[in-house]
Structure 1
Amino acid sequence: MRLLLAVDLGLKTGLALYGEDGRLIWYRSQNFGSTERLRRGAHGILNGVPGVAALVIEGGGNLAVVWEKEAEQRGIAVRRVGAEVWRQAFLLPREQRSGSDAKRHAGEMARRIIDWSGASRPTSLRHDAAEAILVGIWGVLELGWIGSLPREIQRIMSPAR
C-alpha cells in the first residue's frame, strides 16, 4: 500500500499520514525544538513508516531541505506547496481573511476528515496537525489517489464549491 506523508513545516511540525484510498491513518504534532533534532526526527519518521511513496511539505527554506534530503535517499517523491494553494482549494476567501480565521476553519475541516477516515479523535487538535491533515488531503487529490473530496467532507463546505 502506498502512503503519503504530509508535513506542516516548522520546528513545531504537523504530520499526517494517508493511505492510497485517501483516508487519514494518523496525525500528530511534534515539537523538534532545533534543526538538528528535526533532522534526526525526519530520519526516524521516514525509517519508521515503510511504504511512503510521496511527501508533501507546506513551507520552505532550510527545514524543507532536511525533509527533501531524507526523502531523496529513499526514492520518495516530494512536492512543496504553499499554504495559499491548499487554502484556496478548501477555504472560502472569507474564511482566510486572517491567519487565525484560516487556522480555525482548517481545524474544522480537519476534524471532518478525521471522522470520515475513522482515525482516532483528538482531545485537542493543534493547528499544525490540522494543517498537515489538509496538506495531505490536497496531496492525495493532486496525485490522483482519489478523484474528489468525499461527500461527507464536502457537506461542510459552501454550496458555491
Structure 2
Amino acid sequence: VMACVPYGHGGFSSKYKRSTSSLLPSTCDILATHEPPKNILDRCLSGEKAGSSSLRTAVENMKGLPPKLWVCGHIHEGRGAVRTTFGTQRDTRETLIVNASNANPGRANHLVYGPIVVDVSSKDEITDGSKKPIAQEKRTFRAQKREKQEGEQELLLAIDLGLRCGASLFDDTGKLLRYEQLRFADEEDLHKRAPELIDSWRNDINAENSIDSNGLEIKNILSYLAVEGGGHLFDAWESSLDSEDKKDIQLVSVRPEEWRSHLLTPKERASSRSCKEAARLIARQVVSDFGLMGDHKGRFKTDAAESVAMGYFMANHLGWIERKPLISRYSNGKVIVPR
C-alpha cells in the first residue's frame, strides 16, 4: 500500500481543508510527501529545522504499522537517509526515511545530484543511480559550532570551488593565516590532491608551535571545511574527508549569493564582473586588517579573493570575527583598501 500527501499540506498552505491524518490510511508500506517530518533530514541553510510537525504526528498516530519507506524532499540541505522508529498503538517497525532532494542548497536554481534508488525488496539498500551506496548520515550544510577543548584553536578552510580555485585559512580569533590560488588538471587530479592539501595546510600550521598567553602549546584543529558551490567538484572535497583523521571536520556548503548578500552592496551584486571586482577589493581589506602576512601585493587573483571573502563571511557567522559593519567603506559606498 502506498500513500501520498499533497504538497503544502504539511503547513505551507491552507489550500487543503482536511486534516493530515485524514489523508493517510490506517497503515501503509510506502509514504510519499513533499516535506520531510519534523526534526528528520529537515535542517535548512538558516539552521532551522523546517520539517512538518503535522505529518510526523499523523504517522506516529497511525492505527496500524508505520510505513517501511517514507520518501520526501523540499529541504535540499537535508538530502540523505536515516532509519527511525515511530510509536504506534500496535507493535511498531523501523521506517527508512529518504530525503531525495537533488537541487542545490537554498533556493533551487540547478540540479546537483542524480536520483536515489531504494531496493525495498531486499535489505532496503540505498544507492544512487549508479548503484553506488550513499551515506546514511548526512554532513551538514550549515556550520554547527563544536565544543572547543582547552588548548585548542579551531581552523576554518574556505574553498572557492573549481579546477582553478582559491583557498584561505582562518583561525578562531579571526586571523587570516594563509590564502592561495590553486589549479587542478582535472577532476581526477582534484580528487587526489584535495585530501593532500588539507593535510598539508593543517600540518604546516601545527608545525609553527603556537603558544598561548599562559605559555602552553596550542593545538590547531581544522573544524570546518567551507566550500562554495556544488556538483561533482563539491563531491571531491566531500570525499576528501572520508579518512578516519578527518571524520570530525564539518563540511559546509556555502552559496555565492549567501556571502555576497552580506558583504556586497546591491550595486556590486548587479553583475558577475562587479561581484568579482568587489571581492578582490574586500579581500585586500581582509588581508590588511586580519591577515598575518602584510598587505597583498599586485593583482589579487579572483578565485583566491573570493575564498578570502567567503571565509571572512563564515568566520563572522561562527562568531570569530565581530565587526560592524563587516566591510569598511567610504561615504560614497566604495570599499576602503590599503594604499
TM-score by length of 2: 0.44
Range moving further from structure 2, 88-97 or 122-131: 122-131
- Structure 1 runs of 4+ aligned residues shifted over 6 Å read 157-160
Describe the superposition over 1:48-91 as per-residue Cα deviations: whole angstroms up to 9, x where unpaired: 13321101110100111111122343020011011100000000
Equivalent residue runs for 1:12-161 within 5 Å: 12-50=164-202, 51-73=221-243, 74=246, 75-117=248-290, 118-120=292-294, 121-146=296-321, 148-149=322-323, 154-156=327-329
Is 1:7 aligned with 2:159? yes
3-state DSSP of counterpart to 2:223 = strand
Q: Distance in 2 between matches of 1:4 and 1:123?
A: 25
3-state DSSP of counterpart to 1:122 = coil
3-state DSSP of counterpart to 1:13 = strand
Does the CA-based 8 Å contact 2:282-2:327 persist in structure 1? no
Alpha-carbon distance, 1:158 to partner:
6.6
* Gap runs ≥5 in structure 2: 1-152, 203-220, 334-339
3-state DSSP of counterpart to 2:241 = helix
Alpha-carbon distance, 1:23 to partner:
1.5
- Number of matched residues? 158
* Gap runs ≥5 in structure 1: none
Alpha-carbon distance, 1:159 to partner:
8.6
Percent identity between the aligned chains? 30
In structure 2, do the counterparts of structure 1 residues 159 and 79 end up closer, same or farther at CA, with 3 Å as the change threshold? farther
Q: Distance in 2 between matches of 1:124 and 1:44?
A: 27
In structure 2, do the counterparts of structure 1 residues 71 and 150 end up closer, same or farther at CA, with 3 Å as the change threshold? farther
* 2:287 aligned partner, one-letter code: I
- Using CA pairs below 8 Å that are at least 6 residues apart, which structure has the higher relative contact order? 1
RMSD of the alignment, in Å?
A: 2.0
TM-score by length of 1: 0.89
Structure having the higher helix fraction is 1
3-state DSSP of counterpart to 1:93 = coil
